[in-house]
């Protein structure tokens, strides 16, 4: 049994975008065809059977039963053997030949014109003994009037020829009957397969259209993400010009700068956790323990490596925004070419005039885009800030551990 029936497929788990937001996401799960009758007071076996047949159709990808396909094939066969294009009676002949093949073969084997042995005495033969005797008695008289011997020889020869021709004819008819039956069978199967193939092709076409729509949507998503990075980068580019925000972080060690970058990034991490929520327990560590456990060095990156949600993790892994480095006033944030290798973003891209928040201090206005995982890989940088702020620091769960903190 497929225990995952009714659940979203694996490929949905890391998806982000407008299709997961909005009212449709809060809608209940799609009606489970299999459980509906149980919820009703009165069981309807017809409804149960309809559900079962629907599932079969979905599984096979063709919403037609074998019988329906055969009927369709029969209609196609009629179309192939259109009387306007071929002999009008060909279809009937083929059908008759296929249906009566055994009968016709038997008839041919047993049939043919009856053959009689013919010799000179046959002319005077009779079942009546008296008549036979009289004929024999008068035979010399008859021979006086004409010579019956050549006639008897000719008829004997003709009789033998008739027998041979009948045998040849019977053999030919038998072979023809077999060929007719074979042709009809081949045509029937061909039409059946063509019908089945055309239905499959139609289904595949619909699937291709669906996949094309998904590809189109993903492309739009990538473009929107790239655009968001373009908007974020100029904000960071002006960070050196905003000393109060930086100095607040720099009051501790050099690493707290990292933390100041991490803190705004927390919502982004939460968003990631949501996509990881369905992993089963792998290491046996309780979720509560993992939530409060100190972050092991490199745990975040390891977790990312082990994540099932490849699409999202690859994206995060390919965006090595170096938050560990102190942000020098003259140093713009490096943008990994892996994000959009074909469109290198220059650090000095013009700032859109319609975004005045770009010139505000980063601590107040900087809202990192969720697609940028501003995660520190150094736990030592995290600890002091936690102790200063007094807030509970949320550690990422160990690899393989379910993380339901945001759910």
Contact set with other proteins (CB under 8 A): 1, 34, 37-38, 42-46, 48-49, 52-53, 55-56, 60, 65-67
Output 34 or 356, the one with its CB closest to other proteins. 34
Q: Residue length, the chain?
A: 407
Output 54 or 346, the one with its CB closest to other proteins. 54
- Taking Cα atoms as reference points, which of 81, 339, 101 lies closest to residue 225? 339
Q: How far is the CB of 199 from other proteins (least distance, A)?
A: 16
How many Å apart are CA 382 and CA 74, to the nearest integer? 74
The secondary structure of 349-404 as a DSSP string is PPPPTT-GGGGS-HHHH----TTS----S-GGGTHHHHHHH-PPPPPPPPTT----
- Taking Cα atoms as reference points, which of 310, 317, 301, 306 lies closest to residue 280? 306
Q: Residue 373 burial by CB count (10 A; 0-12/13-18/19+): exposed, middle or buried? A: buried
**Is the distance from CB of 104 to CB of 97 less than 8 angstroms?**
yes
Output 174 or 196, the one with its CB closest to other proteins. 196
Q: How far is the CB of 354 from other proteins (least distance, A)?
A: 58
Output 43 or 141, the one with its CB closest to other proteins. 43
Q: How far is the CB of 92 from other proteins (least distance, A)?
A: 19
Q: How far is the CB of 52 from other proteins (least distance, A)?
A: 5
Output 64 or 194, the one with its CB closest to other proteins. 64
Q: How far is the CB of 213 from other proteins (least distance, A)?
A: 30
In 158-202, beta strands by DSSP E: none
Q: How far is the CB of 107 from other proteins (least distance, A)?
A: 16
**Is the distance from CB of 313 to CB of 16 less than 8 angstroms?**
no
Output 1 or 144, the one with its CB closest to other proteins. 1
Output 47 or 301, the one with its CB closest to other proteins. 47
Which two structure tokens, joined as six digits, stand for 3?
């225990």
**Is the distance from CB of 401 to CB of 281 less than 8 angstroms?**
yes
Q: How far is the CB of 43 from other proteins (least distance, A)?
A: 5
């Amino acid at each position: 049994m497929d225990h995952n029936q009714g659940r979203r497929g694996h490929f949905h788990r890391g998806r982000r975008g407008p299709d997961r937001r909005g009212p449709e996401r809060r809608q209940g799960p799609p009606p489970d065809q299999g459980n509906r009758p149980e919820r009703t007071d009165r069981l309807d076996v017809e409804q149960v059977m309809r559900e079962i047949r629907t599932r079969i159709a979905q599984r096979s990808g063709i919403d037609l039963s074998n019988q329906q396909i055969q009927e369709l094939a029969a209609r196609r066969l009629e179309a192939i053997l259109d009387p306007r294009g071929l002999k009008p009676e060909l279809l009937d002949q083929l059908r008759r030949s296929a249906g009566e093949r055994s009968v016709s073969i038997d008839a041919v084997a047993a049939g043919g014109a009856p053959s009689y042995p013919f010799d000179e005495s046959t002319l005077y033969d009779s079942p009546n003994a008296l008549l036979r005797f009289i004929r024999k008695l008068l035979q010399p008289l008859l021979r006086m009037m004409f010579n019956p011997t050549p006639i008897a020889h000719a008829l004997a020869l003709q009789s033998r020829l008739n027998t041979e021709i009948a045998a040849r004819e019977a053999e030919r008819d038998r072979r023809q009957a077999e060929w007719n039956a074979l042709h009809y069978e081949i045509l029937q199967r061909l039409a059946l397969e063509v019908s089945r193939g055309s239905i499959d092709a139609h289904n595949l076409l619909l699937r291709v259209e669906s996949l094309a729509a998904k590809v189109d949507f993903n492309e739009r998503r990538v473009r929107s993400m790239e655009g968001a990075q373009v908007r974020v980068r100029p904000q960071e580019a002006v960070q050196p010009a905003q000393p109060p925000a930086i100095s607040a972080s720099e009051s501790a060690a050099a690493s707290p700068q990292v933390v100041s970058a991490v803190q705004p990034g927390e919502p982004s991490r939460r968003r990631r956790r949501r996509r990881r929520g369905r992993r089963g327990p792998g290491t046996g560590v309780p979720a509560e323990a993992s939530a409060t456990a100190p972050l092991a060095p490199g745990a975040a990156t390891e977790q990312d490596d082990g994540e099932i949600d490849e699409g999202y993790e690859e994206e995060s892994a390919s965006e090595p925004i170096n938050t560990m480095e102190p942000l020098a006033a003259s140093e713009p944030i490096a943008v990994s070419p892996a994000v959009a290798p074909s469109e290198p973003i220059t650090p000095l891209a013009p700032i859109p005039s319609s975004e005045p928040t770009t010139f505000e201090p980063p601590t107040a206005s900087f809202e990192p885009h969720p697609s940028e995982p501003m995660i520190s890989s150094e736990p030592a940088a995290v600890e002091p800030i936690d102790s200063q702020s007094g807030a509970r620091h949320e550690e990422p769960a160990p690899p393989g551990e379910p993380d339901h903190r945001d759910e």
